[in-house]
Amino acid sequence: MNIGYIYYDLLNLYGDDGNVKALKQRLTNQGVKVNIDYISLGDIINFAKYDIVYIGSGTDDNLLIALDYLKEYKSDIKRYINGNKFFLATGNSVELFGKYIQKGEEKLEALDILNYYTEYNDSRIVNDINYSCTQSSKNIIGFENHRGHIISKEKNFLYKDDNKYGVVYNNFIGTYLIGPLLIRNPYFLEEYIKRLLNTENIKEDNYYLEIEAYKKAVELIE
């Protein structure tokens, strides 16, 4: 299984590389050979070779640098997502794939691949969260630290009342959650591995420590 980790050295603000490490470990435990391409700015990205693409979070400035480079691949990314290939975006990188990013009077054109846009609030949103999720049988826990607010009519990845913390389209999942997501949510990771491998029958894996940490976090986060 080939994993493309986009701009790992630019968008890795909150230990995002832990998501890729978790994928590699769990897939390897299933007997799957895993190859990870660590993609930097200026590297040629061949999306067609990847089974899953991952992109993490970064500073506001780094996010806009990444956006400029990814615009070259807009049609490739759109083809990849519409082809039902797996794409995971965490942190503020979820903002890149919408129509635009509104920062006060400034409107920044995004990749315009998915049907949503982002509005920035005056104050930063910083919280531990524990919400229901469209892609997991268990609640998702994590940490959010962002100013953006997703405006979307699409099915959300995380939701509570009218708050939107991400989007789902085909096998694209984007969420503001940082932490990293896949390590803090072992139940979701197991279900994600099943979707990646297109089977419900996977080898039993040892999630004991992750599950204990997850249970404790659920108790602590309202």
pLDDT value for 133: 82
The Cα 186–Cα 157 span in angstroms is 16
pLDDT value for 109: 97
pLDDT value for 78: 97
Whichever domain contains 30, its CATH number is 3.40.50.880
pTM of the model: 0.94
Q: Angle at CA 194, nearest 5°, toward 156 and 165?
A: 15
pLDDT value for 135: 85
pLDDT value for 76: 98
Residue range(s) defining the domain that contains residue 60: 2-220
Give me the number of domains the chain comprises. Answer: 1
pLDDT value for 93: 96
Give the model confidence (pLDDT) of 43-88 as tens digits. 999 999 999 999 999 999 999 999 999 999 999 999 999 999 999 9
**Residue 161 confidence (pLDDT) above 60:** no
Q: Angle at CA 87, nearest 5°, toward 171 and 64?
A: 135
Residue 144 and residue 125 in contact, taking contact as beta carbons nearer than 8 Å: yes
**Residue 163 confidence (pLDDT) above 70:** no
> How high is the mean pLDDT of the chain?
91
